[in-house]
């Protein structure tokens, strides 16, 4: 059974409502994800945040109207949800490299940001994952608070490598886990803090040393994918998971926590490096 890419559904919704107030909660509902998961998955799939995507699309369409219509600039600004002409001008100049008035006067070449509709290949190019049932487990390590706009996760991994030898009760030595999770009932924006835990799986009765934190992950069935190569292309793998494999599969995402696994196959920056992405799923 094939299902339309959920990210495509959300992008279509955005396109239909570019001139209206767009709330993340409403867009996420169209994609059938929580705002937290949708925000992460959209960024992983497109390489931009939801807010940045909307801003660039509005400015792209506004630039077309500046060139092809005689509407007043303030009218165009308000039609694309900018509070004032001044706010529109600042954002437009950052996007196009000139003010709206100069673009209209000189009819410079347009700066366009086209819709990122992705047609699914029904899994043709996406590896088949392993489907693994994993019981409740516990992760112990170090935690940071990060945002989409201010990524502190690389620094956390540096800290993890300094303390990983001191983590007690490790079940699988040499295998590190990266877990993202949000606070409950928070409104997600590019500046909303979320939690990222870099750690290792430990026994349930392991004490928590000073300076470390733990997280219990509930039992789930996971689709386990391999990402091969540099982390610079990690978003391509996420895009394939959610844009190709999942819409064409007999599964849907469920649960609140996915994670990345780095074991002895992981070699930072090398072409043959391998890490795993564990996505909680259920059959539909």
User: Would you state the pLDDT for residue 199?
Assistant: 98
So what's the pLDDT on residue 235?
81
Q: Which residues pair with 170 in a beta bridge?
A: 202
Give the model's pLDDT for residue 121: 40
Where b means 16+ CB within 10 Å and e means fewer, 143-169 reads: bbebebeeeeeeebbeebeeebeebee
Query: What are the domain boundaries of the chain?
Result: 6-106, 130-283
Q: Which residues of the chain have pLDDT under 70?
A: 1-4, 107-110, 118-127, 185-187
* pLDDT one-digit tens code per residue, 117-148: 765 443 334 568 999 999 999 999 999 998 87
DSSP calls for 38-78:
HHHHHHHHHSS-HHHHHHHHHHHHHHHHHHH----HHHHHH
Topology of domain 130-283 in CATH is Multidrug-efflux Transporter 1 Regulator Bmrr; Chain A (3.20.80)
Average pLDDT, the chain: 88
Q: What pLDDT is attached to residue 119? A: 52
- The whole-number pLDDT of residue 120 equals 42
Residues of the chain with pLDDT > 70: what percent? 92
Cβ atoms of residues 27 and 39 within 8 Å? no
Write the class of the CATH domain 6-106.
mainly alpha
Crossing angle for the helix pair 6-16 and 35-46, to the nearest 10 degrees: 90
Residue 143 CB partners (closer than 8 Å, separation 6+): 156, 195, 196, 197, 198, 213
Say if residues 247 and 165 touch (Cβ distance below 8 Å). Answer: no
pLDDT of 246 reads 85
The pLDDT value recorded for residue 123 is 36
């Amino acid at each position: 059974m094939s299902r339309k890419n959920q990210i495509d559904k959300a992008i279509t919704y955005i396109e239909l409502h570019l001139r209206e107030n767009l709330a993340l909660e409403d867009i996420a509902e169209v994609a059938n994800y929580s705002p937290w998961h949708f925000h992460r998955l959209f960024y992983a799939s497109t390489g931009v945040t939801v807010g940045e995507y909307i801003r660039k699309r509005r400015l792209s369409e506004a630039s077309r109207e500046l060139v092809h219509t005689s509407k007043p600039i303030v009218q165009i600004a308000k039609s694309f949800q900018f509070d004032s002409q001044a706010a529109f001008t600042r954002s437009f100049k950052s996007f196009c490299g000139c003010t709206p008035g100069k673009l209209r006067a000189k009819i410079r070449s347009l700066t366009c940001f086209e819709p990122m509709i992705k047609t699914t290949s029904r899994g043709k190019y996406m590896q088949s994952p392993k489907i693994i049932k994993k019981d409740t487990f516990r992760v112990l390590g170090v935690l940071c608070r990060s945002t989409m706009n201010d990524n502190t996760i690389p620094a956390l991994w540096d800290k993890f490598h300094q303390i990983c030898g001191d983590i007690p009760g490790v079940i699988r030595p040499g295998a590190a886990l990266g877990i993202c999770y949000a606070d409950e009932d928070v409104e997600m924006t590019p500046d909303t803090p979320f939690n990222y835990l870099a750690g290792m799986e430990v026994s349930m009765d392991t004490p928590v040393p000073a300076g470390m934190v733990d997280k219990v992950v509930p039992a789930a069935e996971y689709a386990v994918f391999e990402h091969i190569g540099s982390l610079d292309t990690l978003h391509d793998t996420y895009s394939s998971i959610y844009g190709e494999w999942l819409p064409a599969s007999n599964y849907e995402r469920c649960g609140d926590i996915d994670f990345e696994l780095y074991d002895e196959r992981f070699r930072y920056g090398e072409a043959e490096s391998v890490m795993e992405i564990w996505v909680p799923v259920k059959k539909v």
